[in-house]
């Protein structure tokens, strides 16, 4: 395989090195990582033009790049810390250094995460000097804590408590729009799910309305395709796999497989906006699958282990979902079904990956939608998973908390919330997995990281529109293949200044699979691979 070239400019002296094992640059250096486009990914180069200017050059246009660059998985870390920790290990995963309004004070694993105001933050100081994250998987327990006054806000009240909270003047419910999807994942590398007739039978066997009506809160809807209506790329005229038990049984018969099918249905017992009652929904789906001859044994897994296994394609059937990181089809479709997506659903559909690659490179929204209509139809035919619900969800706070809100992308900024004291306590469904979110996909983990680390751009309060972040301004060339960012003059919480080198090192630690910094927690870096077409120097997968 051709070895990619990486150009490292050290104080204006160009040094050409092999991309497989180049030296880690020092903080004094200015960098340019560069390659040709034969490796198959999107990025061609990332360059520190000067101390506070960074330029990205792509192999093809990317109209969604600002939305991607605002996401917390691409937050900027100090180059010195990444180099010191080798891009992984407990010192990085448990001790983030960022530019955000808060910095980590203490993480008492299994109990609470304590953050305090970052004295080097360039913006307005947080209203509460101390922010504490707690967690409990039971919605009733979170609600009890809120009523007892031991916390100021909570995520995901139980569906039956929405009206109770709304009727109590001491508390306020903040509903979120349904910018998510819950689905039944199917691994087509596991027999007999490699048989498309079996997957299509499953798609028609699920009574989605029954699930939504019985187990979801108000404002939830049945999912007729993978994306909710609020996401660009949803096409109302796309093909739908309607509930039809007789058709499902007929398809199963046509598949020629021997019944019953013995399999495992895995999930994590963690409440999400897309799945408010995991256990009972799993049991209901187990019963529905049995109607067509699939006997699924339920397997409850720890959250981190479950996500890792799903990403690696080690699960047969599984319950998972997705909440919008930004309102574009690339966040939903490319991440899950693109050519560099994870192995969650097994083998890729070449027709689908080609459609998504074409659509992601177009700047004309109308032309993109034509391709997304075809892509949504192909998903319905290929059935990598069965979309079931778009869950309505909410956060609840004491009524006295000023500035409280629920983010549609679950990225609440707690620094603007004022409870009248120096300490704000938030309770969510689960503990963060780590605090190096370049290599995480869990929404509640990302929420914690977002209080500490910042990305080049950001999202507006309460919405998904892109706003300045660590870059005060940005621009692109006409064909959207070159993007230039001008950084703010600010410092990390440890007092070191932010420079363009920190941006280059943070991004290339994910991009270059041969980099000694490409380590993280698992080394998967799923967001980067899925949204940017794969890694530089990626090892070949064994067949």
Q: Residue 347 is part of a domain; what is its CATH number? A: 3.10.105.10
Contact indicator for 389, 220 with CB cutoff of 8 Å: yes
Contact indicator for 225, 383 with CB cutoff of 8 Å: no
Residue 192 covered by a domain: no
Residue 171 has which token pair?
A: 């508390």
β-strands 261-268, 294-301 pairing? parallel
Q: Are residues 440 and 484 in the same domain?
A: no
**Which position has the token pair 């290990």?**
89
Residue 540 has which token pair?
A: 């070949």
Q: Are residues 234 and 127 in the same domain?
A: no
Q: Are residues 360 and 242 in the same domain?
A: yes
Dump pLDDT digits (tens) for 409-425: 878 999 999 999 999 99
Residue 476 covered by a domain: yes
Burial class (CB in 10 A: 0-12, 13-18, 19+), 20: middle
Dump pLDDT digits (tens) for 264-283: 999 999 988 999 999 999 99
Tally of domains in the chain: 3
Residue 244 covered by a domain: yes
Q: Are residues 419 and 365 in the same domain?
A: no
Residue 48 has which token pair?
A: 């520190």
Q: Are residues 236 and 212 in the same domain?
A: yes
- Residue 498's pLDDT band, with cuts at 50, 70 and 90, is very high
Q: Are residues 233 and 377 in the same domain?
A: yes
Contact indicator for 174, 307 with CB cutoff of 8 Å: no
Model pTM? 0.84
Residue 234 covered by a domain: yes
- Residue 20's pLDDT band, with cuts at 50, 70 and 90, is very low
Q: Are residues 220 and 358 in the same domain?
A: yes
Contact indicator for 113, 131 with CB cutoff of 8 Å: no
Q: Is the pLDDT of residue 518 over 90?
A: yes
With a CB cutoff of 8 Å and minimum separation 6, the contacts of 477 are: none
Residue 456 covered by a domain: no
Burial class (CB in 10 A: 0-12, 13-18, 19+), 333: buried
Dump pLDDT digits (tens) for 92-137: 999 999 999 999 999 999 999 999 999 999 999 999 999 999 999 9
Domain boundary residue among 404, 419, 449? 449
Q: What pLDDT score does 542 carry?
A: 53
Q: Are residues 297 and 368 in the same domain?
A: yes
Residue 81 covered by a domain: yes
β-strands 385-390, 180-186 pairing? antiparallel
Q: Are residues 43 and 55 in the same domain?
A: yes
- What angle do helix axes 196-205 and 245-255 make, rounded to 10 degrees? 170
- Average pLDDT (196-222) is 96
Residue 445 CA to residue 453 CA, distance in Å, equals 12
Residue 452 CA to residue 96 CA, distance in Å, equals 7
Q: Are residues 479 and 505 in the same domain?
A: yes
Q: Is the pLDDT of residue 15 over 50?
A: no
Give helix then strand counts, H and E, for the chain. 17, 22
In three-state form (DSSP H/G/I as H, E/B as E, the rest C), the secondary structure along 235-287 is CCCCCCCCCCHHHHHHHHHHHCCCCCEEEEEEEECCCECCECCHHHHHHHHHH
Residue 335 CA to residue 321 CA, distance in Å, equals 12
Q: Are residues 342 and 430 in the same domain?
A: no
Residue 537 covered by a domain: no
Q: What pLDDT score does 541 carry?
A: 62
Contact indicator for 216, 355 with CB cutoff of 8 Å: no
Residue 449 CA to residue 356 CA, distance in Å, equals 29
Residue 52 CA to residue 281 CA, distance in Å, equals 50
The DSSP-derived string for 500-543 is: HHHHHHHHHHHHBTTSTT--BSSS--HHHHHHTTS-BTPPPPP-
Q: Which residue range(s) make up the domain with 44?
A: 5-89+468-531
Contact indicator for 535, 513 with CB cutoff of 8 Å: yes
Collapse the DSSP code of 387 into the 3-class scheme (helix H, G, I; strand E, B; otherwise coil) and give the result: strand
Dump pLDDT digits (tens) for 290-328: 999 999 999 999 999 999 999 999 999 999 999 998 889
Q: What pLDDT score does 470 carry?
A: 98
Q: Is the pLDDT of residue 241 over 50?
A: yes
Q: Are residues 76 and 169 in the same domain?
A: no
Can you list the alpha helix ranges (DSSP code H) found in 394-485?
443-449
Q: Residue 439 is part of a domain; what is its CATH number? A: 3.40.190.10
Q: How many CA atoms lie within 13 A of 43 on its CB side?
A: 28
């Amino acid at each position: 395989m051709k070895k990619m070239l990486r150009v490292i400019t050290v104080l204006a002296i160009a040094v050409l090195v092999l991309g497989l094992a180049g030296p880690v640059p020092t903080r004094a250096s200015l960098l340019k990582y560069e390659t040709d486009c034969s490796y198959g990914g999107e990025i061609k180069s990332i360059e520190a033009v000067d101390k506070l200017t960074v330029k990205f050059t792509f192999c093809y246009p990317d109209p969604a790049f600002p939305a991607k660059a605002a996401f917390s998985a691409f937050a900027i870390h100090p180059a010195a810390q990444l180099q010191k920790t080798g891009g992984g290990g407990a010192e990085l995963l448990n001790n983030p250094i960022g530019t955000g309004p808060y910095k980590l004070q203490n993480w008492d694993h299994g109990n609470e995460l304590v953050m305090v105001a970052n004295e080097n933050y360039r913006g307005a100081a947080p209203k509460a000097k101390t922010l504490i994250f707690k967690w409990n998987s039971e919605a009733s327990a979170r609600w009890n804590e809120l009523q007892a006054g031991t916390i100021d806000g909570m995520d995901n009240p139980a569906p039956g408590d929405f009206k109770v909270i709304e009727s109590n003047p001491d508390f306020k419910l903040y509903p979120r729009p349904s910018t998510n999807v819950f689905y039944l994942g199917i691994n087509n590398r596991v027999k007999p799910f490699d048989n498309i007739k079996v997957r299509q039978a499953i798609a028609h066997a699920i009574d989605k309305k029954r699930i939504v009506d019985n187990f979801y809160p108000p404002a939830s809807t049945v999912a007729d395709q993978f994306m909710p209506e609020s996401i660009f790329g949803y096409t109302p005229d796309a093909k739908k796999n309607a509930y039809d038990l007789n058709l499902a049984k007929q398809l199963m018969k046509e598949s020629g497989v021997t019944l019953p099918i013995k399999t495992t249905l895995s999930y994590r017992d963690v409440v999400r906006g897309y799945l408010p009652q995991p256990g009972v929904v799993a049991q209901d789906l187990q019963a529905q699958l049995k109607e067509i001859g699939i006997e699924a044994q339920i397997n409850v897994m720890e959250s981190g282990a479950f996500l890792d296994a799903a990403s690696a394609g080690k699960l047969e059937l599984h319950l998972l979902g997705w909440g919008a990181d930004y309102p574009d089809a690339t966040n939903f479709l490319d991440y899950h079904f693109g050519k560099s997506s994870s192995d969650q659903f097994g083998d890729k559909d070449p027709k689908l990956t080609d459609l998504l690659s074409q659509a992601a490179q177009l700047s004309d929204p109308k032309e993109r939608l034509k391709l997304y209509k075809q892509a949504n139809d192909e998903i319905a035919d290929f059935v990598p998973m069965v979309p079931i619900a778009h869950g309505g969800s909410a956060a609840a706070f004491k009524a006295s908390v000023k500035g409280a809100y629920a983010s549609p992308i679950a990225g609440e900024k707690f620094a603007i919330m004022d409870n009248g004291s120096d300490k704000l306590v938030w309770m969510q469904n689960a503990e963060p997995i780590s605090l190096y979110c370049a290599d995480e996909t869990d929404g509640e983990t990302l929420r914690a990281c977002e209080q500490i680390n910042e990305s080049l751009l950001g999202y507006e309060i309460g919405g998904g529109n892109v706003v300045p972040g660590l870059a005060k301004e940005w621009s692109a060339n006409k064909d959207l293949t070159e993007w230039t960012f001008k950084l703010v003059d600010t410092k990390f919480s440890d007092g070191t200044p932010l420079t363009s080198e920190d941006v280059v090192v943070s991004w290339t630690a994910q991009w270059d699979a041969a980099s000694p910094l490409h380590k993280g927690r698992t080394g998967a870096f799923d967001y980067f691979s899925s949204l940017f077409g794969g890694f530089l120097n990626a090892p070949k997968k064994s067949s």
